[in-house]
Amino acid sequence: MKFLEDPMQTIGAGFALAVVLIVVFLGMSGIGAGEVDWVGMIMRWVHFLAGITWIGLLYFFNLVNAAFLKSLDGPTKNIVIPKLMPLALNWFRHGATVTVLAGIGLYGYLYAKGGTGAMALGIGGLLGIIMMANVHAIIWPNQKKIIAAVTAAAQGTPAPAEMAAWGKTALYASRVNVMLSIPMLFFMGAGSHFK
| Tens digits of residue pLDDT in 140-150 | 999 999 999 99
User: Which residues of the chain carry a pLDDT beneath 50?
Assistant: none
pLDDT of residue 16: 97
Query: Could you give the 3-state DSSP secondary structure of residue 21?
Result: helix
C-beta atoms surrounding 19 within 10 Å: 9
CB 47 within 8 A of CB 106: yes
Cα(11)–Cα(3) distance, integer angstroms:
9
- In angstroms, the Cα distances linking 55 to 8, 73, 109, 116, 147 are 19, 28, 23, 25, 22
3-state helix, strand, coil in the chain (%, to 5): 90, 0, 10
Burial annotation 153-182 (CB, 10 A radius, 16+ → b, else e) = beeeeeeeeebeebbebbbebbeebeebbe
pLDDT of residue 193: 78
pTM: 0.90
